[in-house]
């Protein structure tokens, strides 16, 4: 009887598109009503007032639902979730962060995102880059919202002519020995991501990394300190540094320039940075979470998030004029995120980093 009823409903929808349209609207209104009764949605999000405001203010104003926002730079999320769940507490609904395929996927704390999607503009696959929402797991629980081309090379423009650099292999020139600072690739961050890109690129690979290590790189673990080395010209070239700090320094007038990846023969990698999304299972505010998912993945929500972060949204109808043109994903670019990439990091890259840089 249930199958007969289902096909009858389906036939009704085909014969009466207005009725089918009303179905999602009824579901949305019921969800919104229940969400307002719950009163709030609890979430983890990226650190920074601009990111917090983008992920909370417009949503709260539009729906009257409070966002309880916990800023966390990703690595602190798993222990907090594990500790509270061991105590029988389920405190959070959604998460926006990076490396969720590593941090949360193994914990089995996420639900499939698509079960919460109601709005047609979010369900419309033609609106998404690549013709579909991008998930990093078979269960479709870790969603990528913002894959963008990453900056890899940074220079002090008073010391280096940016036009002379056309390949990462230019870093191997004798004149740059002892003059390059890099984020430490032996830890998670832009360093690890960059050296993974070097490792995976068919024209670079392990031999390039070994040669680069012989250039007496200065390896640091503090993003601001790394950029200060370039800005002061103590180390006129930086690789694997923080995009956001570079852009901040540039706005302050520091003589730093980002080398456009499009002028480099090898390009750069694609990364979502802190632009992954997850929906917690056993959420305390399930209806508010559904409303939030639909808002965040709408044009409005994605535009707010992309502008606040400088990222490029996977939604094709979200403007990109807030970011440098080189950030738009290029066809065929190497991805340094996802489970296959993490396996390479664990099994191949980290042993190589220990070999060339020491433990």
Tell me the per-residue pLDDT of 32-41, one tens digit each, with 9 for 90 and over. Answer: 999 999 999 9
Is residue 59 within 8 Å of 295, Cβ to Cβ? yes
What is the pLDDT at residue 250?
96
Helices (H), the chain: 2-15, 17-38, 49-63, 77-86, 100-103, 120-123, 190-200, 205-213, 223-231, 243-251, 286-296, 299-309, 339-344, 350-357
- Whole-number average pLDDT of the chain: 93
**In this structure, are 124 and 161 located in the same domain?**
no
Question: Cα(299)–Cα(314) distance, rounded to whole angstroms?
Answer: 10
**How many domains is the chain partitioned into structurally?**
2
Is residue 310 within 8 Å of 323, Cβ to Cβ? yes
**In this structure, are 96 and 111 located in the same domain?**
yes
Q: Is the predicted pLDDT of residue 3 greater than 80, yes or no? A: no
**In this structure, are 142 and 56 located in the same domain?**
yes
**In this structure, are 189 and 132 located in the same domain?**
no
Tell me the per-residue pLDDT of 307-355, one tens digit each, with 9 for 90 and over. Answer: 999 999 999 999 999 999 999 998 889 999 999 999 999 999 999 999 9
**In this structure, are 187 and 258 located in the same domain?**
yes
Is residue 325 within 8 Å of 67, Cβ to Cβ? no
**In this structure, are 97 and 35 located in the same domain?**
yes
For the chain, helix, strand, coil in percent to 5 are: 50, 15, 35
Higher-confidence position of 348 and 20: 348
Residue 276: CB partners within 8 Å, gap ≥ 6?
96, 97, 98, 99, 100, 101, 136, 142, 143, 144, 145
**In this structure, are 96 and 164 located in the same domain?**
no
**In this structure, are 216 and 342 located in the same domain?**
yes
Q: CATH number, domain at 347?
A: 3.40.190.10
Domain that holds residue 212: 151-267+334-357
Question: Cα(15)–Cα(150) distance, rounded to whole angstroms?
Answer: 48
Tell me the per-residue pLDDT of 193-252, one tens digit each, with 9 for 90 and over. Answer: 999 999 999 999 999 999 999 999 999 999 999 999 999 999 999 999 998 899 899 999
**In this structure, are 205 and 348 located in the same domain?**
yes
**In this structure, are 160 and 241 located in the same domain?**
yes
**In this structure, are 195 and 342 located in the same domain?**
yes
Predicted structure pTM score: 0.86
Which residues partner with 297 through β-bridges?
none
Q: Is the predicted pLDDT of residue 17 greater than 70, yes or no? A: no
Tell me the per-residue pLDDT of 264-287, one tens digit each, with 9 for 90 and over. Answer: 999 999 999 899 999 999 999 999
**In this structure, are 207 and 184 located in the same domain?**
yes
Q: Is the predicted pLDDT of residue 95 greater than 70, yes or no? A: yes
């Amino acid at each position: 009887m249930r199958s007969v009823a289902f096909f009858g409903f389906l036939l009704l929808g085909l014969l009466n598109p207005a009725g089918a349209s009303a179905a999602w609207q009824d579901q949305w209104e019921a969800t919104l009503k229940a969400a307002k009764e719950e009163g709030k949605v609890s979430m983890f999000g990226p650190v920074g007032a601009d990111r917090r405001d983008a992920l909370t203010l417009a949503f709260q104003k539009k729906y009257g639902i409070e966002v309880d926002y916990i800023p966390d730079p990703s690595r602190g999320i798993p222990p907090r979730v594990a500790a509270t769940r061991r105590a029988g507490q389920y405190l959070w609904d959604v998460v926006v962060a990076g490396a969720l395929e590593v941090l949360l996927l193994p914990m089995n704390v996420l639900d499939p995102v698509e079960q919460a999607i109601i709005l047609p503009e979010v369900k419309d696959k033609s609106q998404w880059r690549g013709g579909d929402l991008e998930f990093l797991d078979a269960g479709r629980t870790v969603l990528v919202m913002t894959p963008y081309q990453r900056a890899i090379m940074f220079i002090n423009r008073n010391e280096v002519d940016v036009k002379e650099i056309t390949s990462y292999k230019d870093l191997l020139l004798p004149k740059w020995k002892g003059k390059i600072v890099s984020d430490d690739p032996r830890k998670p961050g832009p360093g690890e991501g960059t050296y993974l890109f070097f490792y995976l690129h068919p024209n670079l690979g392990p031999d390039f990394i070994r040669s680069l290590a012989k250039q007496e790189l200065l390896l640091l673990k503090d993003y601001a300190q790394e950029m200060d080395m370039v800005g002061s010209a103590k180390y006129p070239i930086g690789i694997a540094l923080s995009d956001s700090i570079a852009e901040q320094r540039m706005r302050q007038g520091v003589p730093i320039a980002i080398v456009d990846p499009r002028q480099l023969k090898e390009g750069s990698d694609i990364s979502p940075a802190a632009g992954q999304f997850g929906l917690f299972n056993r959420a305390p505010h399930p209806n508010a979470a559904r409303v939030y998912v639909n808002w965040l993945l709408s044009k409005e929500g994605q535009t707010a998030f992309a502008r606040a972060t400088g990222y490029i949204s996977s939604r094709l109808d979200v403007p990109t004029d807030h970011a440098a043109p080189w950030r738009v994903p290029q066809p065929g670019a190497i991805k340094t995120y996802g489970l296959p990439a993490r396996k390479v990091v664990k099994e191949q890259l980290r042993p190589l980093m220990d070999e060339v840089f020491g433990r």
